[in-house]
Homo-oligomer: A and B are copies of this chain.
Amino acid sequence: DGGKFGERWAELCQVYGINVDLLKVEWGYAVDPQEVARRLEANPAIKAVLVQANETSTAVAHPVKELAAITKTKPNTILVVDAISALGGYPLPMDEWGLDIVVAGSQKAMMLPPGMAFAALSPKAWEFVKTSRCPKYYFDFAKQLKSQQKNQTAYTSAVTLTLGLMQVLGWVREQGLEKIFARNAKMARAARAAVQAMGLTMFSKQNPSDVLTAVEAPAGVDGQKVVAEMRKKGIWIAGGQAQAKGKIFRIAHMGYIDEQDLLGTIGALEIVLNELGYKVALGSGVKAAQEVLGKEA
């Protein structure tokens, strides 16, 4: 599991009567591909490995490429990737790596309002669709494929978001994915430098993500309070979810979030942390971030 959304994969499977071999991962850490390989060897009946590309609740990027290298060698196992906050944020070349199902949402790096989901399937995954016995109606991939081959959707679709998506994809094409990914990576490095300069601790102990940064609330400071005080200044950062609630806060730096947003957020955070009793030299985090952002791309 390793986070709230990892737990959700398991819950979703259990609700639909699917047996789950849950690999426990401490929050803040990434899954170990070797352990996944061992489990697949031990139980060849495992049909799918489900993983978050970016576990949004901990800001850890799981090693999707390494997992795909394992599932690629197993004809009866597919890799299903929750890329809701990862797609468009950092490289996730589905065909090149061998990801079988990638799902994403409109509301993260796709820069649209919530209300739309995407799914892409590999040829290997389409073979699994043929024998799937899970109850489904609106989420029947075979039906959707049939309609999409006629340039239609099987059911009434979210028209306004589709129009918005065309705008976003035009902008993405204009910029180029490489440039977008490089910018997100630089923003992430800047955020991490600021965290270190402020004497704070990253919540993501391994593979910190390029699309958001999760930070431990310093001793004696409530993470939810940090979020609330930032909101009073008109800045939306996120708190922790479930077991991390109150213990962390999370800063997004994907999509249309730019350098001004990030520097302003760090600056305001320094003020808020001081107000809440954690002493940090004003400007220290901002300066560290500036130094990263000021370097050539």
Contact = CB atoms under 8 A, between A and B. Distances in A.
Contacts of A157: 114-115
Contacts of A136: 15
A161 interface: yes
Interface of A: 11-12, 15-17, 105, 107, 113-116, 135-137, 156-161
25 contacts: A11-B137, A12-B137, A15-B135, A15-B136, A15-B137, A16-B135, A16-B137, A17-B135, A105-B156, A107-B156, A113-B158, A113-B159, A113-B160, A114-B156, A114-B158, A114-B159, A115-B115, A115-B116, A115-B157, A115-B158, A115-B160, A115-B161, A135-B135, A158-B158, A160-B160
A238 to B, nearest CB: 12
A10 to B, nearest CB: 11
A15 to B, nearest CB: 5
Contacts of A16: 135, 137
Contacts of A156: 105, 107, 114
Contacts of A107: 156
Nearest to A84: B156
Given A105-B156, A107-B156, A115-B161, 19 more contacts: A12-B137, A15-B136, A15-B137, A16-B135, A16-B137, A17-B135, A113-B158, A113-B159, A113-B160, A114-B156, A114-B157, A114-B158, A114-B159, A115-B116, A115-B157, A115-B158, A115-B159, A158-B158, A160-B160
A271 to B, nearest CB: 28
A223 to B, nearest CB: 19
Contacts of A113: 158-160
Contacts of A158: 113-115, 158
Contacts of A11: 137
A251 B95 CA distance: 46
A115 to B, nearest CB: 4
